[in-house]
Amino acid sequence: MNEEQFRRHVRQLAQLRGWTLAYHTHNSRRSDAGWPDEVYGHPAAGRTVFIELKTDTGLIRPAQKQWLRHLAGCGLEVALWRLRDLALIVATLAPGGPRATLPDTL
């Protein structure tokens, strides 16, 4: 599964779990660098999560790290998810699921 297929799959999972608000920058080449791939909102649960999606071998660019760390440092829910994190993704997207957090290695 490539990164775009992974992104679509995660979005479908989110929609099935009530995340009715979703944002994705479709042409990131014309946008400032580093903004997360997806932003989901779950109005009923009062949650918003900023998500960077990568394949298991995909590299995080410095601007992406900077934005992810900044958003997390502001107390927002932020995730870096890879294909191998599917069980964590499903759990986190549950309305009462755990808050998204960044890996310690970021």
Domain boundaries, the chain: 3-23+34-92
- pLDDT tens readout for residues 15-33: 999 999 999 987 767 778 8
C-alpha to C-alpha distance for 29 and 21, rounded to whole angstroms: 23
Residue 35 is which amino acid?
Answer: W
pLDDT digits (tens, 9 = 90+) for 50-63: 999 999 999 999 99
- This prediction has a pTM of 0.93
71's CB contacts (< 8 A; 6+ apart) are 36, 50, 78
Name residue, tokens 């009530």: 18
pLDDT one-digit tens code per residue, 78-99? 999 999 999 999 999 998 999 9
Q: Which pLDDT score is estimated for 97?
A: 95
| Per-chain mean pLDDT for the chain | 94
pLDDT band for position 105 (50/70/90)?
Answer: confident
| Fold of the 3-23+34-92 domain | Trna Endonuclease; Chain: A, domain 1 (3.40.1350)
Q: Which residues contact 58 (CB under 8 A, 6 or more apart)?
A: 3, 82
What strand order describes the sheet that includes 77-82?
A: 21-24, 38-42, 47-54, 77-82
- What lies within 8 Å, CB to CB, of 46 at 6+ separation is none
Mean pLDDT to the nearest integer, 65-85? 97
